[in-house]
A and B are shown apart, each in its own frame.
Chain A
């Protein structure tokens, strides 16, 4: 390790018991070809400064815990190679648009509430008895929503979304894509319930299609596309309810 070239990391530090404003602390770590940024952070934690706080778990782009701002762009640190940023220095900050609890750890209560608000489960008008068997689905019906089901809740799209940053009540990309994941599932009958909840200013209509949520998504979910499709659906329903004020359009 002594022979490896070095790279400097400028890491966002915020320790609420000791400072009111964050500071940037620099650490020099080995620049190894096969290291991702998370490896460098763990190297700091293990060998240089044990007080550095950050979240991580699976190291393989599945758990969605290790999202951070890398040189100003939201990224999964377990899936971003260090030598891409050589010779450095390279700045690591907690995800944008969220309050910071400590160092690189953000507060995500709002995100959890918003996920829940879209009712991300299969809604049936009437459950059929177990004896009647399962709800069948063809591969083509699965394909209708599969991309939207790949989300790992890493919140990169929330920190990429200026609308979420500016408009505190906006439901945001991942939650709306998740709503579409259920809306487009042929077993679900909750489209109308979700539309009532989400065809509001803070639901779909605040999105201005910046499109960056889809760019930063590590799983190819395309929340921006999901929201635009949802808008078309919402607008169609709105005109329908205008023309047919007495009969609610049946889904």
Chain B
């Protein structure tokens, strides 16, 4: 039987995974790193933060959150351009740009978190 191969299920899975992980983790992380810590409501020591983030599993979690969130953005933004601005004739270009950027950020995150 013919099976039309489409790559959309991959992008949709990444979008879905990213949507879930960002919905669960990002608000609390933003409140911590962007509001509570800068305003001094909580002031964790540098050593504490460093030992919290240094283990490989912490870095893996951060990589997962950042990378999936980027792919979540890529998918939604692609279709927002499609529908909101009626740019569907340029789908290929938009898709390459959106998913390409997400992949680039993910690769940089691997470099930053694990290689550097």
Residues of A within 8 A of B41 (CB): none
Query: Which residues does chain A contribute within 8 Å of B93, judged by CB atoms?
Result: none
Given contacts A205-B12, A235-B12, A235-B16, contact A200 B6 (CB under 8 A): yes
Q: Which residues of chain A in 228-251 are interfacial with respect to chain B, using CB atoms and an 8 Å cutoff? A: 231-232, 234-235, 237-239, 241
Q: How far is the CA of A192 from the CA of B3 in the complex (A)?
A: 10
CA distance A241 to B4 in the complex (A): 12
Q: Contacts A196-B1, A196-B3, A196-B4: A167 and B88 contacting too (C-beta < 8 A)?
A: yes
Interface class of chain A by DSSP: helix
Alpha-carbon distance A201/B12, docked complex (angstroms)? 11
A-B contacts, 7 of them at CB < 8 A, read: A166-B86, A196-B1, A205-B12, A231-B12, A235-B9, A235-B16, A238-B10
Taking residues whose C-beta sits less than 8 angstroms from the other chain, chain A's interface range is 20 to 34
For the complex, give the distance between the alpha carbons of A88 and B107 in Å. 59
Chain B facing A: main interface SS: helix
Shortest CB-to-CB span from A97 to chain B, Å, is 13
B73 contacts the other chain (Cβ, under 8 Å)?
no
Interface of A toward B, CB cutoff 8 Å = 162-163, 166-167, 192-193, 196, 199-201, 205, 208, 231-232, 234-235, 237-239, 241
Q: Are A199 and B6 in contact (CB under 8 A)?
A: yes
The interface of chain B, by Cβ under 8 A from chain A, is 1-4, 6, 8-10, 12-13, 16, 79, 82-83, 86, 88
Could you say which residues of chain A place their CB within 8 Å of the CB of B8? 199-201, 205
Query: Chain A nearest CB: distance from B75 CB in Å?
Result: 9
Contact for B9 among A193, A196, A208, A234, CB less than 8 A:
A234
Complex Cα distance, B96 from A199, in Å, reads 21
Asked if A166 and B82 make an inter-chain contact with CB atoms under 8 angstroms apart, the answer reads: yes
A-B pairs with lowest CB-CB distance, top 8:
A238-B9, A205-B8, A235-B9, A208-B79, A235-B13, A200-B4, A200-B6, A234-B9
Residues of A close to B83: CB separation below 8 A:
162-163, 166, 208
Contact A201 B2 (CB under 8 A): no
Chain A residues with Cβ below 8 Å from B3 are: 196, 241
In the complex, chain A residues whose CB is within 8 Å of the CB of B4: 196, 199-200
**Extra A-B contacts (14), CB below 8 Å, given A166-B86, A234-B9:** A166-B83, A166-B88, A167-B82, A199-B4, A200-B8, A205-B8, A205-B9, A205-B12, A232-B16, A235-B9, A235-B13, A235-B16, A237-B9, A239-B9
**Could you tell me the distance between the alpha carbons of A239 and B17 in the complex, rounded to whole angstroms?**
14
Indicate if the CB atoms of A199 and B88 lie closer than 8 Å: no
- Give the distance in Å from the alpha carbon of A29 to the alpha carbon of B1 in the complex: 59
